Amino acid sequence: MIDEKAFTSFQKRLGITFINIDLLRQAFVHRSYLNENPSFHLEHNERLEFLGDAVLELIVTDHLYLKYTKATEGEMTNWRASIVNSKMLAQIAGDIKLNDLLYLSRGEAKDASGKARQYILANAFEALIGAIYLDQGYKVAETFLNTYLIPRLPEIIEKRLDIDPKSRFQEIAQEKVKTTPHYEVLEESGPDHAKWFKMGLYIGKELVVTGEGESKQEAQVDAAQKGLQIKNWE
């Protein structure tokens, strides 16, 4: 059970005092926790996540439409996708120390890492938005996102982070060195259900950097992101 003081501290940190504190608690209840604690008085957070996802998209869309009056539909769609993806939401969840409040099974708490933990955090963040919306209304949810999420948009637009790292690296490489980069598998390990890949990113014969991931695509993206940093092409 999460200490009551943790929820009090969390609300103070956000500047939001919930009328129904159980809505806040429910936002952090992962399905696995109920498997071990079937008598727990709250449901898991998936319905709140569903609602929060819709509120999140509407607030971000509203901001983009009103702020960037010259942007095309395609540009706004890409920008929105870049700021509401699980990686970004998990980062913000980490910033506000949401992880400390999660109700997880012992196994999930021990084993969840990498992408699995990223999804849990992102989903809980969306559930939190849903809880704020139900308890405090649209304006408070909007203020919350304007404080913690929307400020990330200018960097996404300025640095063209809405374009995936592989496309950005290829575009810049073709512009600067007139060469199309390519990727090669350097290592492959693990059973079929849990593969791990190490990919090399090459410009010509030069190995720029290596990337790792649970699929070739994920390892390529990891390598491209590292390559942008190493080449100072961010």
CA dist., res. 221 & res. 42, Å (int):
39
**Residue 187 bears catalytic tag:** no
Catalytic residue among 49, 53, 162, 222: 53
173, 180 Cβ separation under 8 angstroms: yes
| Phi, psi of 207, rounded to the nearest 5 degrees | -80, 110
**Catalytic pick among 3, 57, 62, 126:** 126
53 belongs to the catalytic site: yes
Q: Which two tokens stand for residue 34?
A: 């109920």
**How many whole angstroms separate alpha carbon 66 and alpha carbon 30?**
35
DSSP structure class, residue 214: S
Q: What is residue 211's three-state secondary structure?
A: strand
Q: What is the DSSP letter of 98?
A: G
Q: Which positions are catalytic? A: 53, 126
